[in-house]
Chain A
Amino acid sequence: MYFKWKNLGLIFDLDSLDDIPDWHVSHAQAPNVVDMGEFVRVYFCGRPAPDDSGNFVSRGMYADVIPGSTFRILKIGQSPILELGELGEFDEFGTYPISVIKQSGRFLAYYGGWSRPKAVPFDVALGLATSEDGERFTKHGNGPILSASPDEPFVITSPKIRYFDGRFVLTYTAGVRWFEYEGRKEIIYRNRIAFSDDGVSWTRLGREIIQTKLGKDEAQACPDIYFCNGEYHMFFCYRSSINFRDDPKFSYKLGYAKSVDLMTWERDDGNSVFVESQENWDSEMQAYPNVFDFKGKTYMVYLGNGTGLLGFGAAIRVDGHE
């Protein structure tokens, strides 16, 4: 089974939408879809104006959308779906990324909560929040649900939540090391996986699950799992941990791996390809994929150049298996 994707372009284009809330000044990052029947709700993260110290504090949002060869935007939520943490809490400085699942009639949001240590620009741990309507979420406590552990020392982030065979499956990334390069603190993180019966207490597999392609400097993110034909397919993004901001060669690209048991993964990036890419949109970068089915078709929402600065895009599966 292979995956061929036809690029549908920047389907959520911040510049062309007129009902973006005033507080939301840039970015639509890490899109993540929940099937609502006649439409899908795309959760994503947007940025208000930077704070006094020039840093951004990312907030969760949603848009209701009907996927197709073009995407029709029905509604854009006007308020952040989730409050920031209080002074000293793990999510005081942002909630990004956010992954939502609807399970037993309830919406569960797993999100990266951002704090600011002195020695490095940020740390991240995962929080949980729940909602009845999927529009406003209530936090499960003021602390994280999954944070650093002996072999996952910091930056626990990039959650993707799924439910397979009667249990919750959480893929995420864990920091490997911080290092200084050209005056900046850079972080390497890699894909990990954890399992839970109740969505609250988690058992981690306790090791990296995806082989690197770029060697020891490879950073991996957004491990999104799509199940079909008896196999688990993981779409994720990866980049070099240095020079990725300026040189397109080192910026985020999509990776692919498959598994039958969720624990052993075989990486094969060539098994998922785009038919074409668009200049000025995703020619340099593809990142933060989320794959979903809607009315018999398979789609991917993802970020292109600038990691969501302009909005997010989509692709439709066109390999004959869709």
Chain B
Amino acid sequence: MVMNNGWKDRGLVIDLELINRRHSTNFQWAQGPQILDMQTHFRLYFSSRIPDKEMQPVSKIYFLDFSKDFTEKLGEIREVKIHDGLLGGFDQHGVFPFHPYMIDGKLIMALTSGWKRMQNVDIDMAIGQAVSLDGEHFARNGYGPLVSAAPNEPFLIGDPFVLKMNDIYSLFYIFGTEWSDNQLKPERTYKIGRMRSDDGFTFARTVEGNRIVPDTIKNEAQAMPTVVKFNEVYHMFYCYRSSFDFRNGGANGYRLGHATSSDGEVWSLSHTELPSVLPDWCQNMQCYPHAAIIGSELYLFFNGNMFGKNGIGLMTKEIGAFDVTKL
């Protein structure tokens, strides 16, 4: 096996081509993996695009259950049962990503990244909330967003990820900073921010418009923060790309980022901990990561080429293999 910074390529845990062939389904996308510990197994949520009445893609949420080591699929892909967004609502045109989290180890909550198509720019986004007892049926907290734009975070509020840190909950998310109109069509830039919560239900900004992760490249757009803690250090994985000419992947396309922090607020880049060799399924693009500590390993789920057209891949690394001297 090639030395890959300690990472083991587990391949596509959701391989859409294989699944569609076996189950006569027609999933075209599996984007934004997010897992929830269901005690006896793991549930992997993701968004898939289906055409609406106007034949425009709308993201719906699905899940597939896995054995605790992610070697075995349990059952088939099922759709999350949740009421659709309203006409004119923040999530009328879909939810991507869908982030489940637990409160007090019992109540299953979800923050949803709602999409609304706009006339002059592609979309706007805001974060909604839902609650569940079984992880399949979710009840919405209203039909409007829980977290939306603010004076210094004017649009595109999305990609929520909640982590309980000692006595408080942190919400890592992205906010839009600019729609640039110097290209053929307006292109968006967003950055990673953080909010806090005492109870895990309501979240408040401490400093509005505060970017917590440094840029790596010019015109950087950051997305999908996911945070775990081990060895007393917080590790964030996210993806970043150029704001322009990124859709075909490659140099300007999405790739993974890694940053570390002792407090969750001040982050230092640590990209050298990432895989150095990329397998075929993510050769051209790596995006939408989701991290979890399972046993002694860090599991990193993410989408590969074409923003997740093939499915969801997994790479794992022993916690002990992270170079603590770099932290």
A residues whose Cβ falls under 8 Å from a Cβ of B: 85-90, 92-93, 115-120, 123, 125, 128, 139-145, 147-155, 175, 177-180, 185, 187
Contacts and interface: CB of A to CB of B under 8 A. Distances in A.
B149 A150 contact: no
25 contacts: A86-B179, A87-B181, A88-B155, A88-B176, A89-B154, A89-B155, A116-B118, A117-B117, A117-B119, A119-B87, A119-B88, A119-B92, A119-B93, A125-B149, A143-B150, A143-B152, A143-B154, A149-B146, A150-B129, A151-B142, A153-B86, A153-B89, A153-B143, A154-B89, A187-B88
B86 A88 contact: no
Nearest to B91: A153
Contacts of A116: 118-120
Interface of B: 86-90, 92-93, 116-121, 124, 126, 128-129, 141-146, 148-156, 176, 179-181, 186, 188, 208
Contacts of A142: 151-152, 154
A114 to B, nearest CB: 11
Nearest to A125: B149
Contacts of B129: 150
A150 B142 contact: yes
Contact of B179 (A87, A140, A147, A180): A87
A120 B150 contact: no
Contact of B151 (A93, A123, A143, A175): A143
A145 B151 contact: yes
Nearest to A93: B120
Contacts of A154: 86, 88-90, 144
B154 A141 contact: yes
B141 A150 contact: yes
B149 A88 contact: no
A149 B144 CA distance: 5
A128 B151 contact: yes
A43 B255 CA distance: 51
A141 B88 contact: no
A134 B146 CA distance: 34
A118 B119 contact: yes
Contacts of B154: 85, 88-90, 141-144
Given A87-B181, A88-B121, A187-B88, 5 more contacts: A117-B118, A148-B90, A149-B142, A150-B146, A155-B88
Pairs A-B, 5 closest by C-beta atoms: A141-B151, A150-B142, A143-B154, A88-B179, A153-B144
Contacts of A120: 87-88
Contacts of A118: 93, 116-119
| Interface-centre pick from B143, B156, B179, B208 (highest chain A CB count, 10 A) | B143
Contacts of B150: 141, 143-145
B155 A178 contact: no
Contacts of A177: 86-87
A121 to B, nearest CB: 9
Contacts of A123: 88
B149 A144 contact: yes
Given A88-B188, A116-B118, A119-B117, A143 B149 contact: yes
A139 B142 CA distance: 30
Nearest to A149: B144
| Interface-centre pick from A123, A125, A128 (highest chain B CB count, 10 A) | A123
Contact of B120 (A88, A145, A150, A187): A88
B144 A117 contact: no
Contacts of A89: 154-155
B92 to A, nearest CB: 6
Nearest to A152: B144
Contacts of B145: 147-150
B120 A151 contact: no
A92 B120 contact: yes
A140 B150 CA distance: 10
Contacts of B117: 117-119
Given A116-B120, A154-B89, A141 B152 contact: yes
Nearest to A201: B204
A117 B126 CA distance: 14
Nearest to A153: B144
Contacts of A149: 142, 144-146, 148
Contacts of A88: 118, 120-121, 124, 154-156, 176, 179, 186, 188
Given A90-B149, A116-B118, A120-B87, A151 B179 contact: no
Contacts of B92: 119
B186 A87 contact: yes
A123 B116 CA distance: 11
Given A87-B186, A123-B88, A142-B152, A115 B144 contact: no
A94 to B, nearest CB: 13
B152 A185 contact: no
A87 B188 CA distance: 10
A143 B155 contact: yes
A182 to B, nearest CB: 16
B246 to A, nearest CB: 18
Contacts of A185: 87-88
B126 A87 contact: no
A249 B269 CA distance: 65
Nearest to B92: A119
A266 B126 CA distance: 35
A223 to B, nearest CB: 20
A137 to B, nearest CB: 14
A141 B180 CA distance: 18
Contact of A140 (B124, B151, B181): B151
Nearest to A118: B117
Contacts of A150: 128-129, 141-146
Contact of B142 (A143, A153, A179): A153
A154 B86 CA distance: 10
